[in-house]
Chain A
């Protein structure tokens, strides 16, 4: 999936994450994570984000995640939604997300 424009998903509520995806054409993946779980779960959250981007076929993107205690499923959902919006996806590929 090609990231065409900047888009976000999620909120700053407890248990959620606000994920923002920006174009990074030819620059690969860059990932920034901030939040209260970063010390204990930073590596896990980043691994989930990378796996999600990979399953969506995103090769170039600048991703920032501000987590407020989100579990892995929430990270996946918010990141997928943000990627979809940033790539201008109209028909959501549910089978990829499953």
Chain B
């Protein structure tokens, strides 16, 4: 027995000291540092650690480069970089790989000069490409142990409560960052604004945050909607979108309370517009829309045609605004969205998902990561997660892009296995997975132009000629993980095309 600080005799704790109540109240502002350098001093960085980031600012992100440069200046080496995705904004990381600051990268997406360099053999270790659900699974399970998460937020309070809807540079959902914040050993927030306590709702919470740094800018919100989320006026993409919507309707999906997700990319986004018309005509409403939320889905929600918006990533500024304004527009984290290893995720509740593709093959395998030259230029994203979860998975693609046919004998890289794809919708016909003969019959009866995949491939090649295979050497520059953590494909280095 010992006598504690308030004069009471209590059993002596094993190995611990007695008589002191553990910690004083945290002083307001004690987590706030006036520079990234000071915050790094405080949290203690070291070589070889795994650092994570989110990509909610997409092409506008400023955090990854700034933090990696700061770590490089301190002589940190051999970092494992585990951002939720990388974009063309991250070209400066090439130099950080060359100087040994970065040893390994795992990400959902990779585009631009960094992707070109990695495809050409920049890194000793292959880059690991995982899906959004696969990343959440790996981080939640500890397979990827994040030592330090550097999370850019538009605003937080002085104790670390943060969300993506307050502040000048509102980016909307922080769905990917939420997984990092609750699992990382240390969490550093980089924020543009420090707002009065308590900031709510707290997507990232005070009990998760070690340090806060105020910076001039974490990202350019104008970069959020860049590239992937344009609304198309291309007549061919509109034709594909309208065929896809007709097929979805004919399959009986557009009924009261159904649920949907549409990927980024012209035709896929445009499907929303045609589904809206179908819903108005049939007088039905959707219960929820999932995933990357776009202005098109916000419009349906505000019209009352879609009940809830479950938002793991706001694809444009309208979506970011809506998340703040509409109570039915809910932020969800990537695990809730698509983690296959937990006790339930939202993709499993989807009635239909519409996804883009760079390449599809005769087995309906889909490639969304490597281009026709074999170079990495895409993102796995939620592609394989939603394809596996949704009752009806629709892949949309033009038959030919430029001179390049979209349908091949074998895709360059498999991201989504064909067994999880039900329909392939092109501008010249629709193919049905042979595993779904009843669906084929239904669509044929509805008068939709059903063709064999091989027929579509031959049609494309009647215009383009058969494509020559990309030549690769034996060097593996990337590995593609399926959502369950198994390796579904390896990305090899393309031999430079000799011209």
Q: Which residues of A line the B interface, CB within 8 A?
A: 14-15, 32-34, 36-44, 67-72
Contacts of B494 in A (CB 8 A): 39
Interface Cβ pair total, 8 Å cutoff:
53
Contact A40 B372 (CB under 8 A): yes
Contact A37:B403 (CB < 8 A) given known A43-B468, A44-B465, A71-B463: yes
Q: How far is the CA of A51 from the CA of B481 in the complex (A)?
A: 45
Q: A37-B372, A71-B463 are in contact. List 9 more A-B contacts (CB 8 A).
A: A14-B402, A15-B403, A33-B499, A38-B499, A40-B470, A41-B468, A42-B497, A71-B403, A72-B465
- 10 cross-chain pairs, A with B, having the tightest CB-CB distances, nearest first: A69-B402, A40-B467, A39-B373, A37-B403, A69-B403, A39-B497, A44-B465, A40-B468, A33-B499, A40-B372
Identify which of A32, A36, A42 contacts B404 (C-beta below 8 A).
Answer: A36
Subset of 24 A-B contacts with CB under 8 Å: A15-B402, A34-B499, A36-B373, A36-B402, A36-B403, A37-B372, A37-B403, A38-B499, A39-B372, A39-B373, A39-B468, A39-B497, A40-B372, A40-B403, A41-B467, A41-B468, A42-B468, A42-B499, A43-B468, A44-B465, A68-B402, A71-B403, A71-B463, A72-B465
Q: Which residues of B line the A interface, CB within 8 A?
A: 372-374, 401-404, 463-465, 467-468, 470, 494, 497, 499
Contacts of A40 in B (CB 8 A): 372-373, 403-404, 467-468, 470
Contacts of B374 in A (CB 8 A): 39
Q: How far is the CB of A75 from chain B (nearest CB, A)?
A: 10
Residue of A nearest to B405 (CB): A40
Most buried by A among B373, B374, B403, B468: B403
Contacts of A70 in B (CB 8 A): 403
Contacts of A15 in B (CB 8 A): 402-403
Q: How far is the CB of B234 from chain A (nearest CB, A)?
A: 10
Residue of B nearest to A32 (CB): B499
Most buried by B among A33, A34, A38: A38
Q: How far is the CB of B353 from chain A (nearest CB, A)?
A: 28
Contact A41:B499 (CB < 8 A) given known A36-B372, A71-B464, A72-B465: no
Contacts of A36 in B (CB 8 A): 372-373, 402-404
Q: How far is the CB of B465 from chain A (nearest CB, A)?
A: 5
Q: How far is the CB of A58 from chain B (nearest CB, A)?
A: 20
Q: How far is the CB of B460 from chain A (nearest CB, A)?
A: 11
Residue of A nearest to B372 (CB): A40
Contact A69:B499 (CB < 8 A) given known A40-B468, A40-B470, A43-B468: no
Q: How far is the CA of A38 from the CA of B404 in the complex (A)?
A: 10
Contacts of A14 in B (CB 8 A): 402
Q: How far is the CA of A45 from the CA of B402 in the complex (A)?
A: 14
Q: How far is the CB of B376 from chain A (nearest CB, A)?
A: 14
Most buried by B among A14, A40, A43: A40
Contact A39:B464 (CB < 8 A) given known A69-B404, A71-B403: no
Contact A39:B403 (CB < 8 A) given known A44-B465, A71-B463, A71-B464: no
Contacts of A43 in B (CB 8 A): 468
Q: How far is the CB of A72 from chain B (nearest CB, A)?
A: 7
Residue of A nearest to B373 (CB): A39
Q: How far is the CA of A34 from the CA of B373 in the complex (A)?
A: 13
Q: How far is the CB of B377 from chain A (nearest CB, A)?
A: 11
Q: How far is the CA of A44 from the CA of B497 in the complex (A)?
A: 14
Contacts of B464 in A (CB 8 A): 41, 71
Q: How far is the CB of B497 from chain A (nearest CB, A)?
A: 5
Residue of A nearest to B400 (CB): A69
Contact A37:B465 (CB < 8 A) given known A32-B499, A42-B497, A42-B499: no
Contacts of B372 in A (CB 8 A): 36-37, 39-40
Q: How far is the CB of A37 from chain B (nearest CB, A)?
A: 4
Q: How far is the CA of A94 from the CA of B465 in the complex (A)?
A: 25
Contacts of B499 in A (CB 8 A): 32-34, 38, 42
Contacts of A33 in B (CB 8 A): 499
Q: How far is the CB of A9 from chain B (nearest CB, A)?
A: 18
Q: How far is the CA of A36 from the CA of B499 in the complex (A)?
A: 12
Q: How far is the CB of B427 from chain A (nearest CB, A)?
A: 14
Q: How far is the CB of B235 from chain A (nearest CB, A)?
A: 13
Q: How far is the CA of A44 from the CA of B373 in the complex (A)?
A: 15
Q: How far is the CA of A82 from the CA of B463 in the complex (A)?
A: 23
Contacts of A71 in B (CB 8 A): 403, 463-464
Contact B373 A41 (CB under 8 A): no
Residue of A nearest to B465 (CB): A44
Contacts of B401 in A (CB 8 A): 69
Q: How far is the CA of A67 from the CA of B494 in the complex (A)?
A: 21
Q: How far is the CA of A72 from the CA of B403 in the complex (A)?
A: 9
Contact A38 B497 (CB under 8 A): yes
Residue of A nearest to B402 (CB): A69
Residue of B nearest to A16 (CB): B402
Contacts of B404 in A (CB 8 A): 36-37, 40, 69
Q: How far is the CA of A39 from the CA of B499 in the complex (A)?
A: 9
Contact A37 B470 (CB under 8 A): no
Q: How far is the CA of A17 from the CA of B97 in the complex (A)?
A: 37
Q: How far is the CA of A34 from the CA of B468 in the complex (A)?
A: 16
Q: How far is the CA of A72 from the CA of B402 in the complex (A)?
A: 12
Contacts of A38 in B (CB 8 A): 497, 499
Contacts of A42 in B (CB 8 A): 468, 497, 499
Contacts of A68 in B (CB 8 A): 402
Contact A39 B470 (CB under 8 A): yes
